[in-house]
């Protein structure tokens, strides 16, 4: 009896403790929700301080609680390009802001077009006679592109600059699959559609190298032109052509080598940099030695409300892989985006629509659903323009076809008009361990596709026929959009990728320009003089912000991006694990017909938050989810 009474007391105590814990979490959550969004009026006279401790993206990724648990890491901060551009541009004319300060210590990278747009905003601040200061321990290509636009670029004494340029290696699995007796059945149309090559070749095809070489050259020329325009005295030749000799001339001191080359202005640690900023904008008496008065991006944007006058122009963002279902933001779920578009079209609230695309494509079905929804907008008489970011390829081009005007940048990657599908089968691998299959079929398609027993010839023929049919439809959509014949489009299609400059020359793009140019065109086409953009589906989610606060960020724990060349090697090793996981998902994920530009990943790779998709649990969850 005494034992039972003791057990009961323990159970009651556990229950009371859990109730108390839940109450504490409840009240903490209420407090967090009330303090999530920065309030206006918090802007201090001093610097606009932007510690970009994460990747710059077109659209921030929505945090999924299950993925957060399975990934084994905390979510990393992401910074939307348009938020950074808006804040920096506003600072140029804001009398309270004396300087713009950008800290790239834990910078997560960004695509070339996005970083060039931020650099252009920095130029506006400098044109307003305000200093723009940038610092980092170690600059890579993306960070250097931003630092070039600074009035003062600082590097840590133990840091430096390493400019790699576009290019690199890809993984090929054919020999491994042959050894494992796994058959990768590939169905495709497009001589240049190299997305399937890792599973059927041991190296890149000549056609793949031809297309990539042309795009790499164009992007590299654009990068160098941007840096040279911002820093005319910078010597890129030695730094990129013979980095060993470049370092030897400075006795192995990478920081001094960067200064001598005109890439960096000053060498100093974080404290030296902070004291310099404090001398320009004022010291913060409430902070430690060297602290300067500043305002961060959240409070600043809250204080600088976006325009609401005039007619509204809808902006729908298609960022990340195009997938079936409701995925996103950060991924382009076909059903989610089509729903946003249809709701906007039926509301009667918008004078026009601009589709912002920053995607390598993906599911044919999802791409078609988005395209059809955009077409319904146009059928209602609303002008539609497409603004391509760094990447609008394959399915990213498919969704662009309804546009009356397509805008792109010279460094945009587009094209990749082609279709493929991959179905692995394991009959030979299983036969080696004594597993075979047998059964009864009523038709040639019974039980097919059979990944255990193998594909029948009829299934292979039907699948290839569907891929060819989808490709023919893709050609017809592009031909109608570009006012050409499908035969004309086929000559520049075949899965080949193009840089924005070449795409304009061959008629896949109408004109150079960014999102603002596309909005201005849409407003003019709608015959409205006063207007403002409305980004569909961009409302802040309080629950997601709460998750961010509860989980913290990787930057709280330190990040390898803050290091030197050795830490860059470590990051490359981590990226290899991510690449293996992505390729495994592509082979085994059962994704159906794809209008996807896998080769674009090496040219304009979307910055990946640290730990995103990492770990076998996360990979398996993606495969079975």
User: What is the rounded distance in angstroms from the CA atom of residue 86 to the CA atom of residue 80?
Assistant: 10
Residue pLDDT, tens place only, 157-181: 999 999 999 988 888 999 999 999 9
- Which pair of tokens denotes residue 269? 């640690």
Active-site annotation, residues: 193, 394
User: What is the rounded distance in angstroms from the CA atom of residue 609 to the CA atom of residue 612?
Assistant: 5
Mean pLDDT in the chain? 85
User: What is the rounded distance in angstroms from the CA atom of residue 121 to the CA atom of residue 545?
Assistant: 27
Eight-state DSSP code of residue 149:
T
Neighbour-count burial of 294, counting CB atoms closer than 10 A to its CB (0-12 exposed, 13-18 middle, 19+ buried) = buried
Same fold, 46-167+217-303 and 311-432+447-535: yes
Reported for 122-125, long-range contacts at CB under 8 A and 24+ positions apart, including other chains, are 122/88, 122/146, 122/149, 122/150, 123/149, 123/230, 124/88, 124/89, 124/92, 125/88, 125/89, 125/91, 125/92, 125/100
Contacts of 275 (CB under 8 A, 6+ apart): 290
Checking if the pLDDT of 219 tops 80, the result is: yes
CATH class of 46-167+217-303: alpha beta
User: What is the rounded distance in angstroms from the CA atom of residue 231 to the CA atom of residue 475?
Assistant: 43
pLDDT at residue 557, as a whole number: 39
Q: Give the residue carrying structure tokens 């390009």.
A: 81
Q: Name the CATH superfamily for 311-432+447-535.
A: 2-enoyl-CoA Hydratase; Chain A, domain 1 (3.90.226.10)
594 pLDDT band, cuts 50/70/90, is confident
Residue pLDDT, tens place only, 63-99: 665 555 555 556 678 999 999 999 999 999 999 999 9
Domain ranges in the chain are 46-167+217-303, 311-432+447-535
520 pLDDT band, cuts 50/70/90, is very high
Q: What is the mean pLDDT of residues 260-286?
A: 94
Q: Are strands 594-596 and 361-363 parallel, antiparallel or unpaired?
A: antiparallel
- Which pair of tokens denotes residue 289? 């030695």
CA distances from 388 to 180, 216, 434 (A): 41, 18, 52
Q: What is the mean pLDDT of residues 274-287?
A: 92
554 pLDDT band, cuts 50/70/90, is very low
> Where does 162-304 show beta strands of DSSP type E?
183-189, 266-267, 294-295
Quote the crossing angle between the two packed helices 364-379 and 334-347, to the nearest 10°: 10
pLDDT at residue 16, as a whole number: 67
Is residue 611 within 8 Å of residue 76, measured between CB atoms? Answer: yes
Overall residue count recorded for the chain in this entry = 625
430 pLDDT band, cuts 50/70/90, is confident
Checking if the pLDDT of 514 tops 60, the result is: yes
Judged by average pLDDT, the poorest of 452-466, 477-491, 535-549 is 535-549
Residue pLDDT, tens place only, 555-567: 443 444 445 655 6
Checking if the pLDDT of 118 tops 50, the result is: yes
Contacts of 200 (CB under 8 A, 6+ apart): 174, 184, 186
Convert 109-135 to b/e letters by CB count within 10 Å (16 or more is b): bbbbbbbbbbbbbbbbbbeeebbbbbb
Checking if the pLDDT of 611 tops 60, the result is: no
Residue pLDDT, tens place only, 148-158: 999 999 999 99
pLDDT at residue 68, as a whole number: 54
Please state the pTM of the whole predicted model: 0.86
Residue pLDDT, tens place only, 21-58: 666 555 555 545 444 455 555 889 999 999 999 999 99
Checking if the pLDDT of 312 tops 80, the result is: yes
User: What is the rounded distance in angstroms from the CA atom of residue 524 to the CA atom of residue 518?
Assistant: 10
Q: What is the mean pLDDT of residues 439-464?
A: 86
Checking if the pLDDT of 604 tops 90, the result is: no
Contacts of 407 (CB under 8 A, 6+ apart): 385, 386, 387, 388, 509, 510, 511, 512, 513, 514, 515, 517, 518, 521
261 pLDDT band, cuts 50/70/90, is very high
Backbone φ and ψ of 116, nearest 5°: -65, -35
Determine the straight-line distance between the first and last CA of the chain, rounded to whole angstroms.
49
User: What is the rounded distance in angstroms from the CA atom of residue 334 to the CA atom of residue 324?
Assistant: 5
Q: Are strands 419-425 and 413-415 parallel, antiparallel or unpaired?
A: unpaired
545 pLDDT band, cuts 50/70/90, is low
């Amino acid at each position: 009896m005494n034992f039972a009474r003791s057990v009961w007391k323990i159970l009651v105590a556990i229950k009371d403790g859990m109730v108390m814990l839940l109450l504490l979490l409840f009240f903490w959550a209420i407090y967090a929700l009330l303090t999530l969004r920065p309030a206006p009026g918090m802007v201090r006279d001093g610097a606009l301080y932007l510690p970009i401790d994460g990747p710059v993206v077109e659209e921030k990724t929505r945090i999924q609680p299950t993925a957060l648990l399975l990934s084994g890491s905390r979510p990393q901060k992401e910074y939307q390009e348009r938020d950074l551009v808006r804040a920096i541009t506003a600072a140029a004319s804001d009398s309270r802001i004396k300087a713009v300060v950008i800290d790239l210590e834990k910078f997560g990278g960004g695509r070339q077009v996005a970083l060039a747009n931020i650099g252009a905003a920095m130029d506006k601040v400098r044109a307003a006679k305000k200093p723009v200061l940038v610092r980092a321990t170690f600059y890579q290509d993306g960070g250097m592109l931003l630092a070039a636009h600074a009035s003062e670029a600082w590097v840590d004494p133990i840091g430096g600059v390493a400019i790699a340029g576009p290019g690199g290696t890809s993984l090929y699995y054919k020999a491994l699959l042959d050894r494992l007796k796994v058959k990768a059945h590939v169905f495709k149309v497009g001589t240049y559609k190299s997305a399937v090559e890792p599973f059927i070749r041991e190296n890149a095809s000549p056609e793949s190298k031809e297309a990539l070489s042309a795009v790499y050259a164009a992007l590299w020329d654009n990068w160098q032109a941007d840096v040279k325009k911002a820093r005319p005295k910078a010597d890129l030749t030695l730094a990129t052509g013979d980095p060993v000799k470049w370092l030897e001339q400075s006795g192995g001191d990478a920081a001094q080598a960067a200064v001598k080359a005109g890439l960096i202005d000053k060498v100093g640690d974080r404290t030296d940099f902070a004291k310099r900023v404090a001398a320009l904008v004022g010291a913060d008496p409430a902070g430690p030695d060297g602290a300067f008065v500043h305002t961060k991006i959240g409070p600043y944007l809250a204080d600088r409300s976006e325009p609401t006058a005039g007619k509204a122009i809808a902006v729908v963002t298609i960022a990340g892989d195009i997938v079936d279902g409701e995925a996103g933001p950060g991924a382009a779920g076909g059903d989610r985006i089509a729903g946003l578009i249809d709701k906007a079209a039926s509301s009667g609230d918008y004078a026009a629509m601009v589709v912002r695309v920053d995607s390598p494509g993906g599911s044919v079905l999802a791409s078609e659903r988005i395209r059809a929804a955009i077409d319904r907008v146009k059928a209602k008489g609303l002008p539609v323009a497409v603004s391509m970011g760094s990447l609008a390829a394959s399915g990213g081009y498919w969704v662009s076809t309804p546009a009356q005007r397509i805008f792109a940048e010279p460094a945009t990657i587009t094209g990749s008009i082609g279709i493929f599908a991959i179905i692995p089968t394991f009959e030979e691998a299983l036969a080696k361990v004594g597993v075979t299959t047998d059964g009864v079929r009523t038709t040639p398609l019974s039980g097919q596709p059979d990944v255990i027993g193998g594909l029948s010839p009829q299934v292979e023929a039907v699948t290839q026929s569907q891929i060819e049919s989808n490709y023919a439809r893709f050609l017809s959509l592009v031909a109608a959009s570009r006012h050409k014949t499908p035969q004309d489009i086929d000559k520049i299609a075949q899965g080949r990728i193009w840089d924005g400059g070449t795409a304009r020359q061959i008629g896949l793009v109408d004109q150079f320009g960014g999102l603002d140019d596309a909005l201005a065109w849409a407003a003019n086409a709608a015959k409205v003089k006063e207007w403002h953009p409305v980004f569909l589906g961009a409302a802040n989610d309080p629950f997601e912000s709460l998750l961010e606060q509860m989980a913290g960020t990787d930057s709280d724990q330190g990040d390898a991006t803050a290091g030197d060349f050795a830490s860059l090697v470590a990051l490359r090793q981590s990226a290899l694990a991510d690449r293996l996981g992505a390729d495994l998902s592509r082979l085994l994920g059962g994704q159906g017909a794809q209008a996807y530009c896998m080769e674009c990943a090496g040219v304009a790779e979307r910055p990946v938050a640290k730990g995103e998709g990492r770990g076998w649990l996360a990979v398996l969850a993606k495969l079975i989810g």
